Amino acid sequence: MGKKKTTFNISKIDNFSEWYSEILNKAEITDLRYGVKGFVVIRPWGARIIDKMYRIYESALRATGHDPAVFPAVIPEGNFKRESSHVEGFAPDVFWLESVKGDDKLALRPTSETAFYDMYNIWIRSYRDLPMKIYQRANVFRNETKATRPLIRSREFHWIEAHDAFATKKDAEEQVQDDIRMTEEVMHKIFGVPFLPMKRPQWDKFPGAEYTVGADSIMPDGKIIQQPSTHLISQSFVKAFDVKFVDEKEKEKTPWLTCYGPCMSRILASILSVHGDDNGLILPYTISPIQVIVVPFSPRDDSGEPNGKGVGDAVDKIRADLMAEYIDVKVDDSDKRPGEKFFFWEMKGVPFRIEIGEKELESGEVIVFIRDTKEKISVSIKDLPETIKNLGAEYDERLIARADEFFGDKVVDCKDKDTIKKALDSGKIARFSFCSAEKEGAECAEYVEKELSARVMGTRADLNEKASGKCPICGKKASVVVYAGKSY
């Protein structure tokens, strides 16, 4: 298929990789010129989007009883060594601060279970201390050796991690389900990124977890990207940090812990990729740094200087009225040509553009350009704040519906190796009956990884799907239905 001619000049469908790299640069989301592999500078436009994402996610966490904390970025080596599977799972990815003098070598945190649990040993004493639900906004560091890609696969992640402690396993497992619901309510229903909640097979769970549920989304190139994951932590991990509490009957018990990690930088990669088009970004209204850009047209006098005080006064009032309704608005009164302004803000993904000049001032109506549909409508100046809010809600609903439609046909039922391969090679997710999601299925998963360049994502955490027939890899009786996809 030939490359389509577009305003942005790169087709997302035909060449997603180039489109993604170019839009990060042109829209000023990131800058790769920092000079350290796997580390990128997030520029103001990207940082402002992420800041809104953080605020929304933190609001959701606080509404469910979580409190914020700030932990150090370094973790003593001794903390990692307390739980064997955790240190084994993360040791290859740890950045060690070799030059720091002290009793214990320090690591830049790859994740913070060992930091939180060290303090939970001190803070948790009685059943009255439970549940304890604490999160932090943080960056974590992993010495990723594979090819890195901005926001998608990096050595530094900007995320939230919540670490929760409960008196019973039942309460902890309810929190895992709450975490899945939060991913649905925030990432899907606000950010517009659909996903499959997948219970990871035992060979692919979080190091130190009893089980893991990951939210798998899909990118325009057909590759899977893992978004927030939630884990039921094994009691052996908790016991390694000697976290205990005394129950109502004065008996000493070990609490059950969970952890949840929505990564803002990685979710941003999905937001940009799923919603964007060949003209650049399309940002959800709710998280766009600028929700409305106002472009005034003023007549000029004989010397070429602007001579439109009436337009200027009207623009000032429009800006004030929108700000009074907590709408993020900016006026572009630069000396660029109108076409340049239109292209720039369209490429940046601003949802609405208001055009106003003498003609609009006389009629009492302005032109509103809608980024996702490229439609222009006339709106009464006095009704602008209420109209923009209503249009914004409709805008986000359309983005979610469009993303769901894109995601809807990505899962293909497969019966044998050939149909699995065909589905994977066409950028789809293969669903098929499989021998086992326990350790005995690891050999078949290895075949999928080595021969099909994909991975077994796991089983649905939200459905009880019944397997039938035999595993297409080993021929043994199937016991579970799994999903497989190619990933970064």
* CATH number of 449's domain: 3.30.110.30
Are 137 and 234 in the same domain? yes
Task: Domain of residue 458: give its range.
Answer: 411-485
49: left (phi > 0), else alpha (psi -120 to 50), else beta? alpha
Residue 404 forms part of a structural domain: no
Are 101 and 137 in the same domain? yes
Please give the torsion angle defined by the CA atoms of residues 371, 372, 377 and 382, in that order, rounded to the nearest 10 degrees: -60
Phi, psi of 217 (to 5 degrees): -110, 175
Are 268 and 185 in the same domain? yes
**Residue 208 and residue 203: Cα distance in Å, rounded?**
12
Are 188 and 271 in the same domain? yes
Domain boundary residue, one of 248, 275, 302:
275
What separation in angstroms does the CA of 271 have from each of 83, 176, 359? 36, 24, 37
Buried b (16+ CB within 10 A) or exposed e, 30-52: beeeeeeebebebeebbebbbeb
Residue 3 forms part of a structural domain: no
**Residue 65 and residue 63: Cα distance in Å, rounded?**
6
pLDDT at 24: 97
Are 304 and 261 in the same domain? no
Domain boundary residue, one of 243, 275, 307:
275
Are 313 and 259 in the same domain? no
**Residue 23 and residue 347: Cα distance in Å, rounded?**
8
Domain boundary residue, one of 367, 393, 419:
393
DSSP for 23-79, please give it.
HHHHTTSEE-TTSSTT--EEPHHHHHHHHHHHHHHHHHHHHTT-EE----SEEEHHH
Residue 10 forms part of a structural domain: no
For residues 172 and 166, the answer to whether their CB atoms sit within 8 Å is yes
Using the 8-state DSSP alphabet, how is residue 7 labeled? S
Are 187 and 311 in the same domain? no
Tokens linked to 396: 């986000």
**Residue 269 and residue 385: Cα distance in Å, rounded?**
30
Are 255 and 344 in the same domain? no
Buried b (16+ CB within 10 A) or exposed e, 264-282: bbbbbbbbbbbbbbbbbbb
How many domains, in total, are found in the chain?
3
Buried b (16+ CB within 10 A) or exposed e, 137-176: bbebbbebeeebbbbbbbbbbbbbbbbbbbbeeebbbebb
For residues 441 and 462, the answer to whether their CB atoms sit within 8 Å is no
Residue 399 forms part of a structural domain: no
Tokens linked to 383: 């009704």
Are 265 and 296 in the same domain? no
pLDDT at 87: 67
Are 295 and 258 in the same domain? no
pLDDT (tens, 9 = 90+) of the chain, 488 residues, equals 344 444 567 899 999 999 999 999 999 999 999 989 889 999 999 999 999 999 999 999 999 999 999 999 999 988 888 866 776 777 778 898 877 777 788 989 999 999 999 999 999 999 999 999 999 999 999 987 776 799 998 999 999 999 999 999 999 999 999 999 999 999 999 999 999 999 999 999 999 999 999 999 999 999 999 999 999 999 999 999 999 999 999 999 999 999 999 999 999 999 999 999 999 999 999 999 999 999 998 754 444 445 457 898 999 999 999 999 999 999 999 999 999 999 999 999 999 999 999 999 999 999 999 999 999 999 999 999 999 999 999 999 999 999 999 999 899 999 999 999 999 999 999 999 999 999 999 999 999 999 999 999 999 999 999 999 999 999 999 999 999 999 98
pLDDT at 101: 72
* CATH number of 247's domain: 3.30.930.10
Residue 363 forms part of a structural domain: yes
pLDDT at 366: 97
Residue 446 forms part of a structural domain: yes
Say how far residue 134 (Cα) sits from the centre of its chain.
Answer: 20
Are 151 and 257 in the same domain? yes
Residue 41 forms part of a structural domain: no
pLDDT at 39: 93
**Residue 362 and residue 370: Cα distance in Å, rounded?**
23
Residue 436 forms part of a structural domain: yes
SS3 (DSSP) at 295: strand
Phi, psi of 430 (to 5 degrees): -90, 130
* CATH number of 389's domain: 3.40.50.800
For residues 139 and 159, the answer to whether their CB atoms sit within 8 Å is yes
Query: 379: closest CA among 371, 390, 291?
Result: 390
Are 456 and 357 in the same domain? no
